[in-house]
């Protein structure tokens, strides 16, 4: 899987991706991260990439020409007519695990990072296939968002995680949050590990984990339950949880 990040701050991308699991994936050749400096494609004397905004308004806008020439050079190198091109913008759809899975199917993914007040709309119309945001807040530029996308997609590339099971069982894969987890010692700070986890009864442990995932999701992200894959038994369990919560509210 090849990530091609178009940016004015290539070092930011490379330093963000070179460590930990993504760094190892790069070393193993499972993913490749290329950061292309849009400034290298300017045609003016001072390598200026931005200019004033027609119609007024505060700040500067990235101009169409260097962005388009940079993308075009990339497209030729990749050898695809309309490569998947993701523009990181607070005006995009909110990035989800579903998007991560979809992007992981691409051989090449272009990520475009904006700065200043954004990018001239005309070039965006020409090259962007997906407008993606990472949440409802405003960042100074798209680089951190691009790294979030690269990280989330990388861990879905086969071989990047040690056990492929963990990619599946983790939060969001079944539409639920993950259950709480414990390591040694058995007692810490006066708190014991839930005894069932030490019981050795595999079926009971699995049932407990699933119930804990339901409890946690109901408490922290009830909105996720609407889309989660729930069995009839799960629904009954949640109904009971809500019932006992209401009962204790009365008392």
Window 93-132: contact mask with ligand 6GU (x via CB under 6 A): ----------------------------------------
* Shortest CB 24 distance to ligand 6GU, Å: 26
Answer yes or no: are the C-beta atoms of 107 and 2 closer than 8 Å: yes
Is 127:80 a contact under the CB 8 Å cutoff?
Answer: no
d(CA 45, CA 60): 18
Residue 133 interacting with ligand 6GU (CB under 6 A): yes
Smallest gap from Cβ 16 to ligand 6GU, in A, equals 14
Three-state DSSP state, 200: coil
- Under 8 Å between Cβ of 53 and 117: yes
Structure tokens at 146: 């691009």
| Residues linked to residue 3 through DSSP beta bridges, in sequence order | 33, 109
Nearer residue to ligand 6GU within complex by CB, 10 or 142? 142
Stretch that binds ligand 6GU, among 18-26, 77-85, 138-146, 196-204 (CB under 6 A): 138-146
Residue with Cβ nearer ligand 6GU (129 or 199)? 129
Residue 175 found at the interface with ligand 6GU (CB under 6 A): no
Q: Which residue's structure tokens are 């995680």? A: 161
For ligand 6GU, the closer CB: 115 or 179: 115
Which of 7, 89, 154, 217: binder of ligand 6GU (CB under 6 A)? 89
Exactly one of 137, 162, 187, 232 binds ligand 6GU (CB under 6 A); which one?
Answer: 137
Q: 61-73: b or e for each residue (b if 16 or more CB lie within 10 Å)?
A: bbbbebbbbbbee
**Of residues 145, 153, 218, 230, which one binds ligand 6GU by CB under 6 A?**
145
Contact of 59 with 29, CB cutoff 8 Å: no
Does 16 help bind ligand 6GU (rule: CB under 6 A)? no
Q: Which residue, 14, 6, 16, is CA-closest to 40?
A: 6
Instruction: Please report which helix (H) or strand (E) contains residue 35, including its range.
Output: strand 32-37
**Of all helices (H) and strands (E), which one includes residue 113?**
strand 108-113
66: contact with ligand 6GU by CB under 6 A: no
Is residue 60 a contact point for ligand 6GU (CB under 6 A)? no
Structure tokens at 181: 């987890």
Q: Does 74 bind ligand 6GU (CB under 6 A)?
A: no
- Contact range with ligand 6GU by CB under 6 A, out of 36-44, 140-148, 179-187, 241-249: 140-148
Torsion of CA 50, 54, 59, 64, to 10 degrees: -30
Among 90, 111, 119, 177, binds ligand 6GU (CB under 6 A): 90
Positions that interact with ligand 6GU (CB under 6 A)? 88-90, 133-135, 137-139, 141-142, 145
């Amino acid at each position: 899987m090849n990530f091609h990040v178009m940016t004015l701050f290539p070092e930011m991308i490379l330093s963000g991706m070179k460590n930990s699991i993504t760094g190892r994936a790069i070393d193993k050749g499972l993913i490749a991260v290329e950061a292309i400096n849009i400034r290298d494609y300017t045609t003016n004397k001072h390598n200026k990439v931005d200019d004033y905004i027609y119609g007024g308004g505060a700040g500067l806008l990235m101009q169409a020409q260097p962005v388009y020439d940079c993308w075009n050079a990339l497209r030729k190198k990749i050898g695809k007519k309309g490569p998947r091109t993701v523009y990181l913008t607070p005006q995009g759809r909110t990035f989800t695990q579903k998007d991560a899975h979809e992007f992981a199917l691409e051989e090449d993914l272009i990520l475009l990072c904006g700065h200043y007040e954004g990018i001239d709309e005309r070039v965006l119309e020409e090259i962007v296939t997906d407008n993606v945001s990472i949440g409802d807040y405003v960042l100074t530029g798209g680089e951190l968002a691009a790294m979030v996308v690269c990280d989330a997609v990388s861990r879905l590339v086969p071989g990047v995680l040690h056990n492929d099971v963990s990619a599946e069982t983790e939060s969001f894969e079944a539409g639920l949050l993950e259950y709480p987890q414990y390591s040694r010692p058995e007692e810490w700070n006066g708190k014991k590990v839930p005894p069932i986890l030490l019981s050795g009864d595999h079926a009971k442990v699995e049932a407990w984990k699933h119930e804990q995932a339901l409890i946690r999701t109901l408490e922290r992200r009830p909105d996720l339950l609407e889309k989660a894959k729930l069995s009839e038994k799960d629904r009954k369990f949640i109904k009971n949880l809500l019932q006992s919560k209401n009962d204790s509210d009365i008392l």
